[in-house]
Amino acid sequence: MDFYIDQLRTSTHLKNILTRVKTRTGIQNMNVICRWGFCLSLKQSSLPRNIDEKLDGVTIDYDTFVGKNKILYTQLLVNNLVKHDVEISRRVLAKYLNSHVNRGINIIYTNKLKSISGLIKLAKP
């Protein structure tokens, strides 16, 4: 089975939120913020909602999003979908990657985090 994901895509609304989070936290790269968001979303007990908005905001190459931990992040996504009995396909992986990042970034934004230490506190169990 081919688990290759091409890109992470966001809506324009999420792009605006990412810009605000960058300013608040001082984190320079959106892909780093998106990784945090992805992981925070995975902590939730349910699957994220489907994104209804047009994905015309930020586009991040998947290899840039995952950095040198491609196998780890891909497996985290696959494990989450298996846990929720979702059939795995390339299209489904891309869809839920976008959905998890969207939910996670919204978690970061609604908590009004102003620093990296705030992200760390939010990530703790």
Question: Which tens digits make up the pLDDT trace of 48-65?
Answer: 998 888 888 999 999 999
Q: What value does the mean pLDDT take over residues 107-120?
A: 76
pLDDT at 1: 46
Say how far apart CA 117 and CA 114 lie, in whole Å: 8
Indicate the angle between helix axes 30-42 and 70-83, nearest 10 degrees.
30
What is the b/e burial string over 71-110, where b = at least 16 CB atoms within 10 angstroms of the residue's CB?
eebbebbbebbeeeeeeeeeeebbbbbbbbbbbbbbbbbe
With a cut of 70, say whether residue 81 has pLDDT above it: yes
Domains annotated for the chain, with CATH where assigned, are 7-116 (1.10.1220.160)
Say how far apart CA 67 and CA 31 lie, in whole Å: 9
Question: Which tens digits make up the pLDDT trace of 3-49?
Answer: 678 999 999 999 999 999 998 888 899 999 999 999 999 999 999 99
- Would you give the distance in Å from CA 78 to the centre of its chain? 14
